Each structure stands twice: as structure tokens, then as C-alpha cells.
Amino acid sequence: MTAMGSPTLTRYRVVAAAVALAGVTYLDRVCVGVLAPSIMADLHISPIQMSVVFSAFTLAYALFEMPTAWWADRIGSRRVLTRIVLWWSAFTMLTAAATSYTVMLAVRFLFGAGEAGAWPNAARVFSRWIPLRERGRVQGVFFAGAHLAGGLTPALVTLMALYLPWRMVFVALGFVGLVWAAFWHRWFRDEPREHPSVNAAEADLIEKTRGLPPEQEHHGTFSEVLRIPSLLPLCLQYVANSYGYYFFITWLPTYLAKSRGMSSAELAIFSGLPLTLSAIADISGGFTLDALCRRLGLRLGTCAIGALSYSLAAAAMLAGTLASNPRVGGTLIAVGGAFSMFTLAPSWSTAIGLGGRNTALLSSVMNTSGQVGAFFSPLVLAFLVDRTGNWSLPLHVLSGLYLIAAVCWLFIRPERNSA
């Protein structure tokens, strides 16, 4: 630790590293959706089978999310996140080795098992490194990094695919995680006071304002997390969020091509537009959360953002399916997705605030619930389209889920003493 003086700003470098993590974890998820037509043609996979491949990742992610978060609450996020990203790199590359539907299914399942827990670990990092008053904007910047990477990935992958076969695209992307994992393990520390670049002033500032109980007061358990009254509506609204997100990164390009007749050039733009706009929504949502909470109080400020954003997302999504112009429709769908992501800062800030020293575990419960939505999203779409031939019907389902999520925010109590 450096000498006492004005507080150092190491916590912001931690945020930058976490933003890079968010971008890394989104690269493969979006890449596999963009390259799905090539993968299906090469491995002779049907659309229904490809939906199962998409969902295999989320199923494993959901199964291993809470155990990984429980592990992090006991040994720290430095080691756990290093392991997660090393696994990410290995299985991004191994995706290129798939030779059949069965092998691809196994690889994606194991991929999800190893990547599970990444975001709850990031939440745990923020709970220890970021003062309460800065947490909304930090969450917004974190998700913006993920969505900006996701928004740019379709164009990047499309460009790479002009020169490389789809297998080599996965191999090339796998090296990105190796660089991040090496840096993180060497530089990061689980507690600010342990970091050599943090002076006593910054350590005191963080510890006095981060809202965590003293270590000796912590006797948290899984059953303690489940007894939090706001947990159920918090989890339900996150189901809708992840359901929509997985539509954007899996079947949206196919929807735009088949239902809207977009060209390849248009697809490169509109496939990534929801996540590109979401990056703007993430940052503005985080800053809006901090501002409204200061003005209206924690509960009213947080819940107002959640309810209003999901309501606007539902309306925009429905309007997008009804618009006759394909580009107007694609833009409205992207706007709807961005409005849904405006709720990420309130969701994760609430999870951190209610979780305390159980932040990784509580946020993993919320994120696991989201994976339920992610699991069913591609399957429901494939089933509805196969039975009805109507590509707009799955988006009407998503619009309805967003409305349910808006109602959920009326029952959420973000205050710690509500637990």
C-alpha cells in the first residue's frame, strides 16, 4: 500500500479491468450466433438442433452459477475469475474442433459450465472496491463494455469470416482471454487494502462507504439469501432481461433476414444495433440511477427506472414487429432491447446492496434465474416458428415478458433493512 495522502484512483483501474472482462465474455456468445449459418451448413445441424446448442450453454451456465459464486465468496474473485477466463479461452478454441452436432453440444455445455459465475464475481469485486455512491455508474460502465463488445462483434466476425474459416475465427478470439487472465491474476487483489497501488486514504474511503458489514458480523448462508423478500421479483424481472438478450445474440440475424429480407450489409449493422444502443443505455442508466436515488431516495429512484424502462421496452418491441419498413422495424427492436438493458444497473446494484458479503451468491441466484430465460429463448422461438411460420410471434412473447418485468419492480425493496 502506498503512503497516506489524497486518495489514489486504483478502484477505477479495477473497473477498467472488469469492463474488459465483460467484453471478453460477450465475444464468443455473439460470435456463435453470427457464425450459426456456417456452423449449421458445415456440421449438418438443423435450426432446432442449433437452438439446443445455444441452450446447452445457458443450461450449464445456470447449473454452475451458484456453486462458482459460493466458491468465490470463500476464496476470492482473483483466483476464481482467473480460472473462469482461462476456461473461456480454452473452450472458445475448442468450439473450432467440433466435428458433429453431438460434439458441438458437448463443447458448448462444458463452455457454459466453466464460464458460469463471471458476472457475480464482478459484482463481488464492485461490492468490495466501489463506494455506494458510485456503484450505479460503475455498473452502467461495466455493462456498456459488454454490450459494446457484443454490438461490434457481428461486424468484426463478418470481416474475419471473409478471410478465415469459421473455425479459425474461434481460435483467434480465444487468445484474447489468455491475455486478460494473465494480467488479472498478476495485478488484482481481493481487498483494496492489499493492493500495492492503493494508499491508506483510498482504502479508508472505500471501506467506510462501500456498505459492507464487518467481517466478524458475517455469518451468511444460502438460506439467508433465499429469505430476502425482494429476491423473487428481482429474479423474475431478470428472466425477461436474459430472455430478450439471448434472442438478440442468437436468432435476431435470422429474423432480420427471413422476416425482414435484409441484405448481408444491413444484417451486419442491424444485428449488432441492439447491443450497440444498449451500451449507451447502460451508461446513461447507471448515471440516472445514481442521480435519481440522490433525489428521490433509493427505493423510488431504483424502482422507477426498472418499471418505466421495461414498459418502454415492451412498447418498442411490439411496434418493431408491426412496422412495415424493415429498417424502421429493426431500429425499434433495437431501441426496445436498449430500454430493457437500462435496467441492468438497478438490478445489479440492488443485488449488491441486498447481498452485502453474500453479494456473489445473491447475484448468482438472480443471474441463474436469468439463465432460465436465456435457456428457453432460442427454443421457444424455434418451436413457435416451426409450428406457425410466424417470426413476429416470438417477439410478441418477449414484449409480454417485458411488461411482467415492469410489474415486478413495483414489489422490489432495494434497501438492505428490507431483508
Do 253 and 265 contact (CB within 8 A), yes or no?
no
- Look-up of cell digits 458476472: 119
Closest to 414 (Cα-Cα) out of 372, 371, 362: 362
Confidence of residue 278 (pLDDT cuts 50, 70, 90): confident
Do 7 and 207 contact (CB within 8 A), yes or no?
no
State the pLDDT at residue 364. Answer: 84
Q: What is the pLDDT of residues 195-221, one digit of tens each?
A: 999 999 989 999 888 877 665 445 456
Measured over the CA atoms of residue 58, residue 346, residue 202 and residue 193, the dihedral's sign is: negative
State the pLDDT at residue 418. Answer: 45
State the pLDDT at residue 417. Answer: 53
Q: Region 42-48: what's the mean pLDDT? A: 89
Do 227 and 30 contact (CB within 8 A), yes or no?
no
154: pLDDT strictly greater than 80: no
Model pTM score? 0.74
Cα separation, 202 vs 192, whole angstroms: 8
Give the domain 10-209+228-418 fold. Growth Hormone; Chain: A; (1.20.1250)
Listed in sequence order, the residues at least 6 apart from 224 whose beta carbon sits closer than 8 Å to its beta carbon are: 358
Cα separation, 241 vs 376, whole angstroms: 12
Residues found in the chain: 419
All 3 cell numbers of residue 394? Answer: 416470438
Closest to 293 (Cα-Cα) out of 142, 413, 136: 136
